[in-house]
Amino acid sequence: MTDSRDALTEQLIAASYNKQTELVIIQEQLRNNANEYFVYAQTLALNYSDTNRVIHVCEAYEQSIKSYASFDNLFAYGEFLHRNDHPDEAALIYQCLLSFDQINPSNRKAAVLRLLMAIQTLRRSTES
């Protein structure tokens, strides 16, 4: 009985290791996919002749974030929304970034706070 338990334990450990390895590979593929959509969104943003440019760029950024949310793709998406007259959506992203784990450098946090303040200032000036 002990030998069969030992064998089962070894099988379970091996299966666990294989699943962990598989998960690492999948996560890397998702990060690569996110990077591809991120670059695609930035490329689409330059196509000012596209009458649906904002929609197409938003779709690409959202696919990037869906694949793997990073500070860089969220921040760039927020900036894009902010520059293209979607301050409320940008503010939501900026607020999300403030609690983001990857916001270690204080200059990144300061940039997010400045952009949030700019949106608040804009809101106050349009309300007056």
For residue 107, give the DSSP letter: H
3-state DSSP assignment of residue 51: coil
**At 47, which CATH number?**
1.25.40.10
Helix axes 87-98, 71-83, angle to 10 degrees: 160
Residues 31 and 68: beta-carbon distance below 8 Å: yes
Write out the residue range of the structural domain in which residue 18 sits: 2-127
Q: What is the pLDDT of residue 101?
A: 63
Count of structural domains, the chain: 1
Task: For residue 37, give Cα distances in angstroms to 34, 41, 66.
Answer: 5, 6, 10
3-state DSSP assignment of residue 35: helix
Q: For the chain, percent helix, then strand, then coil, each to nearest 5?
A: 85, 0, 15
Helix axes 71-83, 53-67, angle to 10 degrees: 160
pTM of the model: 0.82
Q: What is the pLDDT of residues 26-61, one digit of tens each?
A: 999 999 999 999 999 999 999 999 999 999 999 999
Average pLDDT, consecutive stretches of 10 residues, N- to C-terminus, the chain (128 residues): 82 91 96 98 98 98 96 95 95 89 70 90 80
